[in-house]
Amino acid sequence: MKAAKFKYVAPRSLEEALGHLGSDPDAKVLSGGQSLMPLLAMRLAAPSVLVDLQHVPGLNAIEDIDNAVRIGARVTHRAVEHSELVARRVPILSLAARHIAHPQIRSRGTFGGSTAHADPSGEWPTVLLAVGATMHLQGAAGRRDVHADDFFVGPFTSSMEPAEILTQVSVPATWDRWSFQEAAVKAGDYGLALVAAVASVENDTITDARVSVGAAVGSVTRLREVEQLLIGAAPDLNTAERAARVATDSVKPISDIHGSSDYRRNLVGSLVKRAIVELKNGA
Amino acid sequence: MKTVEKHQHMDTPEIAARSVGARVLRSEDPRLLSGRGQFIADIELPGQLHVAFVRSPVAHARITHIDLSAVRDAEGVHLAWSGADAAQFCEGLVGEFAVEGCNPTTMPLLATDEVLYVGEPIAVVVAETRYAAEDACELLDWDFEELPAVVNADAAAAGVGVANPQLPDNFGLRGGASFGDVAGAFEQAHQIVEGRFYTCRVSAAPMETRGVIADYEWASKSLRVWSNTQMPHFLRYMLTAYLGFPEQNVEVITPDTGGGFGQKAHVYPEEMLLPLLAREVDRPVKWIEDRRENLMAGAHAHEQYVDIAYALDATGKITAVRTHALGDGGAYHAPPWSMAVEPWCAVVMTPTGLYDAPAAEYTYAAVATNKTPVGAYRGVGYMAGTFARECLADEAARATGMSPFEFRRHNVVPEFPWTNPQGIVYDEGSWRESIDVLESMVDYPAFLQRQAELRAQGRYIGLGLSFFVESSGESTAGSQEHGLGDVYHDTATVRLSPNGTAHVTIGLSAQGQGLATTMAQMAADTLGVRVEDVIVETARSTSHAYGSGTIGSRGAVIAGGAVSRAAGVVREKIRAVAANLLEAAVDDVDLVDGNASVKGAPDTSISIAEVATAIYFDMSSWPEDFDPVLEATQAYDTARAMFSNGAHAMVVELDPETGFVRFEKVFSVEDCGTVINPNIVEGQIRGGVVQGIGASVFEELAYDESGQLLTTTFLDYGIPTMDVSPPFEIHHIETPSKHSASGVKGMGESGLIAAPAAVLNAVNDALTPFGVVLRELPLSPEKIRAAMSGATESAAPQVVAP
Ligand SMILES: Cc1cc2nc3c(=O)[nH]c(=O)nc-3n(C[C@H](O)[C@H](O)[C@H](O)COP(=O)(O)OP(=O)(O)OC[C@H]3O[C@@H](n4cnc5c(N)ncnc54)[C@H](O)[C@@H]3O)c2cc1C
């Protein structure tokens, strides 16, 4: 389990980093390395050059901007977990961060790395899809923003171009209620199913909601039927139970050695129910 | 059964316990816990080269073409071999077991004609770095023709396909025996309870993987091999027997080892190849197994089916037990043991347990499949056998309307010595007492009440019991008692220095059990010195004491016996000189707490340090004809088989939505005779039980239908972690053995032996309202959830009228 040969560069600016990516189609960005290095070690990936972002300025901040919290791509999971700003403005991130791997890995793995990796079992992709985050990308040609709905396009696949760099993610802070649910066999394991749910509530009626599922599915997915059911309903146990049934019927889960699709279908239903119950309780 | 003749090396001195029994802190810990251990990967020899293996990506195939030229031409490569190259030096390792019905196999060092399992080594590369070696491995030019893979034990037994051409009917082992009127008992039974239990395939998954370094010096023809083996002396013997390295020129070195658990108690092709490669390239060569290799090619464990049945009379007493075990052995017998270790051990060692069954019958079979060979793992065979027996005991309790404690009390052996139907003699034990003690620890009535209250709220907790009898101190006598002919002994050397401190060497390598601490306690009490004044070197090299291996819960008993015998010789020297100096009779001199004193006259005393100094530097202190050597090497083996016993009770809660099992509490009772060090015994219990939790719920080496191994990283192979480890309450009972030094018995395996039955019984207890009984491991979330949602088919417990 040793990587094939590769070159390593640690550019000092975004332009320089983009230059490396532009000049070599087999170059790859290195952030925390917690997903990329295992792929290299198992020889499932063999990039020609790793472009390490650790010395690129401007990627390490967590900022309070209008109606959103903007998180730099190089911010570690651990920093998100412990950020007071995050806990206050977008608490679903604090809830989810604790489920990512173990403290050692959270100390190295990064918000941007996980988002770019688009792992269907990733906590960040699931949460970012639910909250409707915006990804800020930089390419040689310039900047562009991509909404989460258009960003996670398949298993381990995003709509980023190979020569683009994810610089920040803006997480809307405008939702009233949040819930994150994960079923993992042991603390630190990838979940068998993840559910993230957010809602706006007025006079005890849900006016807007987004619900996403991760891990149990081939790529992070919105549960649109569940969202439709929620909008206009009261955030109560009855709604939660109906939402669970709709989730169970509409989700298209995967099967693997850790659980069949039938098992995961029911699990997603249970988590959706727990999430909606928590939406009700949260304020 | 035969018993061994008594020999002088089976007698140990009688010593009053001083540090034995105390919670002495482990002397190893400051070094190991602060990162100062030196493990095999830490060892760097000048000029060393690195080794990597090409391993089969398929379960069963015929190699039609293999060409190493691109590999040999790759940058940094010094040597590359395929099976044909290795076969010139060694045809392979023979695996067999000296019991009725064993068909041996020969495992090639590198596959030649056929590959028989995913992970089997096909070629080996020696290069400047491990990176270069792995780069070159990718250049191997080979073709193969896939053959049908045999991946299921029942299919293999039915003769569907041939997994290994050396075993045309797939049977590596088949036999059985019957004792007493078993058929009659089953005919006349009031009730028969029976079930088929499955223990899934797992890995011991030691924290440190395997590793070998070999260094050959041509001028002196000397070979040094570093290996984290549990059996360094045996490996040395094998290097001579198979490869012809002269034994006197071979040294096997065992550095700090991060867990072995039986997986490292084998002799592997890698250990044979590295010395040959080192001689060929004339440079030291090093191979450190990576986790993927460890999960593919380190011995697998456990996989077997045990069919067990009790004939019960009208009062619920067991009148006979029938056991049939079918092991899924993998592609070869894993040398030096075999496929027998699982099914044979299960049926021969465990069916009666602590129950007074007057008749017993067993059959055992192991079949080859296209999977990794199955070998030893902590309590090998005992786990599956105990699992089947103890789970059936709970089912029998339900069938007879008794509580699980009551059923066991009703059937427990009433007095000792007890001879089981096979003729195995159990000299002593606290079998009945352990039932009573566990019942009061658990507070059974309170548990039942809490269980009922929680059920009313839709919460499901369960209590599971598991009682064990563990053969301990693997010995010649123990081997004969079980119908084998293995001969074992260990030696230890004890030396007293002029300042009265002691240096001890034992023949066992340590894998983290704290042997250096417990052996210091044994030596200290025999010599009468403080435990801090004793330093113990475990077998870091075969140039020290001799040992038959750190296996079979033998460390405390066997090394302890050897240490106490060797210390006993030195003790007599000290007493002789002390008697001379104190002008007392030798028989009146006692050695305690660092002093030699005269019995009945405590003021007449001299420190042991002074006596030692006198022996080295003052000849006038010597009695007549005194030989001043303060060093002794002695051997030890037990005169009789000995057995420890105990039990675990496990409380679990099941989540009906996720199917997850939460472990709430473990209650353990352990009787390993005299406890040398409660901390270490409790550590062994905790570690073993948590491994048992892993083997029951979280772990499974999964294969698909084509024989592909699906669990090759810890992402997919789940080992238990601290967050699933429950709190423990541990109670010690001490029923000393009359035959071991200080009365100690071995206990290193009991946690894993017994925990899985406690887990399954607890889960089944929690499942009672759902009318489902599970019998197969692992208890995956999916299985539990299905059981709780009425989706499991085999719902009704199997209680059959005769
Ligand atoms: C034992 C273990 C357990 C884990 N458990 C979990 C878990 O439970 N949940 C979970 O979500 N994750 C888990 N992870 C993964 C971990 O969270 C990683 O940190 C994360 O997936 C990737 O982040 P990284 O910073 O390490 O990225 P890297 O590994 O450096 O990169 C990942 C990928 O993203 C690309 N990339 C990285 N940054 C950028 C960027 N700014 N712009 C464009 N492309 C970029 C890289 O080229 C690469 O393809 C685990 C990892 C380990 C080793």
pLDDT in tens, B326-340: 999 999 999 999 999
B699, B782, B783, B788: best to mutate for the A interface, most A CBs within 10 A? B782
pTM to 2 decimals?
Answer: 0.96
Residue B600 has pLDDT above 50, yes or no: yes
Cα A24 to ligand 1 centroid, rounded to whole Å: 22
Query: How many CB atoms neighbour CB B44 within 10 A?
Result: 10
Pocket of ligand 1 (CB under 6 A): A 28-36, 38, 53, 73, 100-101, 105, 109-110, 112-114, 116-117, 119, 122-123, 165-166, 190
Q: Measured between CA atoms, how close is B210 to chain A, in angstroms?
A: 14
Write out pLDDT tens, residues B311-324. 999 999 999 999 99
CB within 8 Å: B781 and A185: yes
CB within 8 Å: A2 and B131: yes
Chain A residues with at least one Cβ partner in B under 8 Å: 1-5, 42-43, 183, 185-190, 192, 257-260, 263, 266-267, 270
* Domains within chain A, CATH numbers bracketed: 7-52 (3.30.43.10), 62-172 (3.30.465.10), 177-280 (3.30.390.50)
pLDDT, position B16: 81
Residue B794 has pLDDT above 50, yes or no: no
The per-type count for chain A, helices as H runs and strands as E runs, is 12, 14
pLDDT, position B486: 87
pLDDT, position B792: 57
Q: Please name the residue whose Cα sits nearest to atom 9 of ligand 1.
A: A100
Residue A281 has pLDDT above 90, yes or no: no
Q: Please name the residue whose Cα sits nearest to atom 36 of ligand 1.
A: A113
Residue B3 banded pLDDT, cuts 50, 70, 90: low
Structure tokens at B19: 């540090």
Q: Which residues of B touch A270 (CB under 8 A)?
A: 657-658
Cα A116 to ligand 1 centroid, rounded to whole Å: 8
Distance CA B329, CA B372 (A): 8
Write out pLDDT tens, residues B363-405. 999 999 999 999 999 999 999 999 999 999 999 999 999 999 9
Write out pLDDT tens, residues B743-754. 999 999 999 999
Write out pLDDT tens, residues B485-520. 888 899 999 999 999 999 999 999 999 999 999 999
Residue B2 has pLDDT above 60, yes or no: no
Distance CA B752, CA B748 (A): 9
pLDDT, position B797: 46
Q: Measured between CA atoms, how close is A78 to chain B, in angstroms?
A: 20
Q: What is the ipTM of this complex?
A: 0.95
3-state DSSP assignment of residue B463: strand
B128, B134, B655, B658: best to mutate for the A interface, most A CBs within 10 A? B658
**What stretches of chain A show up as alpha helix (H) in DSSP?**
14-23, 36-41, 77-82, 84-89, 91-97, 103-108, 111-117, 123-131, 148-151, 224-230, 237-250, 261-281
Q: Does B428 touch chain A (CB under 8 A)?
A: no
Nearest-atom index, ligand 1, CA of A110? 25
Distance CA B713, CA B701 (A): 10
* Domains within chain B, CATH numbers bracketed: 4-37+489-635 (3.30.365.10)
CB within 8 Å: B781 and A259: yes
pLDDT, position B796: 45
* 3-state SS, one letter per residue, for B265-321: CCCCHHHHHHHHHHHHHCCCEEEECCHHHHHHHCCEECCEEEEEEEEECCCCCEEEE
CB within 8 Å: B698 and A3: no
Residue B28 banded pLDDT, cuts 50, 70, 90: very high
Write out pLDDT tens, residues B284-301. 999 999 999 999 999 999
Write out pLDDT tens, residues B549-559. 888 888 899 99
Which backbone phi and psi does B185 adopt, to 5 degrees?
-60, -40
Q: Which residues of B touch A34 (CB under 8 A)?
A: none
Write out pLDDT tens, residues B507-516. 999 999 999 9
Residue B545 has pLDDT above 90, yes or no: no
CB within 8 Å: B781 and A5: no
Contact A281, A275 (CB under 8 A): no
Residue A249 has pLDDT above 70, yes or no: yes
Q: Using a pLDDT cut of 90, give the percent of chain B over it.
A: 90
Residue A282 has pLDDT above 70, yes or no: no
Q: Say how many CB pairs under 8 Å bridge A and B.
A: 60
Q: Does B134 touch chain A (CB under 8 A)?
A: yes
Residue B539 has pLDDT above 90, yes or no: no
Cα B714 to ligand 1 centroid, rounded to whole Å: 17
Distance CA B372, CA B365 (A): 18
Contact B132, B284 (CB under 8 A): no
Buried b (16+ CB within 10 A) or exposed e, A165-189: bbbbbbbebebbbbbbbbbbbeebb
Q: Please name the residue whose Cα sits nearest to atom 37 of ligand 1.
A: A113
Residue B19 has pLDDT above 80, yes or no: yes
**What stretches of A146-260 show up as alpha helix (H) in DSSP?**
148-151, 224-230, 237-250
Cα A117 to ligand 1 centroid, rounded to whole Å: 6
CB within 8 Å: A263 and B659: yes
Residue B544 banded pLDDT, cuts 50, 70, 90: confident
CB within 8 Å: B657 and A257: no
* 3-state SS, one letter per residue, for B203-271: ECCCCCCCEEEEEEECCCCEEEEEECCCCHHHHHHHHHHHHCCCHHHEEEECCECCCCCCCCCCCCHHH
Residue B548 banded pLDDT, cuts 50, 70, 90: confident
Please give the residue of chain B at the shortest CA–CA distance from A260: B782
Nearest-atom index, ligand 1, CA of A188? 8
pLDDT, position B6: 80
Residue B46 banded pLDDT, cuts 50, 70, 90: very high
Strands B728-732 and B502-506 come out as unpaired
Structure tokens at B587: 């028989």
Average pLDDT score over residue span B17-34: 94
Average pLDDT score over residue span B717-721: 95
Buried b (16+ CB within 10 A) or exposed e, B412-447: bbeeeebebbbebebebbbbeebbebbbebbebeeb
Which backbone phi and psi does B165 adopt, to 5 degrees?
-60, -20
Q: Which residues of A touch B779 (CB under 8 A)?
A: none
Select from A1, A31, A189 the residue to mutate for testing ligand 1; criterion: most ligand atoms less than 8 Å from CB: A31
Residue A179 has pLDDT above 50, yes or no: yes
Write out pLDDT tens, residues A143-160. 999 999 999 999 999 999
Cβ-nearest to B723 among A4, A183, A187: A187
Write out pLDDT tens, residues B636-662. 999 999 999 999 999 999 999 999 999
Q: Which residues of A touch B659 (CB under 8 A)?
A: 263
Any idea which residue has 């299985």 for tokens?
A: B783
CB within 8 Å: B716 and A258: yes
Average pLDDT, chain B: 95
pLDDT, position B552: 83
Element (H, E) at B84: helix B83-87
DSSP code string of B119-158: T-EEEEEEESSHHHHHHHHTT-EEEEEE------HHHHHT
Q: Where are the beta strands (DSSP E) in B294-401?
A: 300-301, 304-312, 318-330, 360-368
Residue B802 has pLDDT above 80, yes or no: no
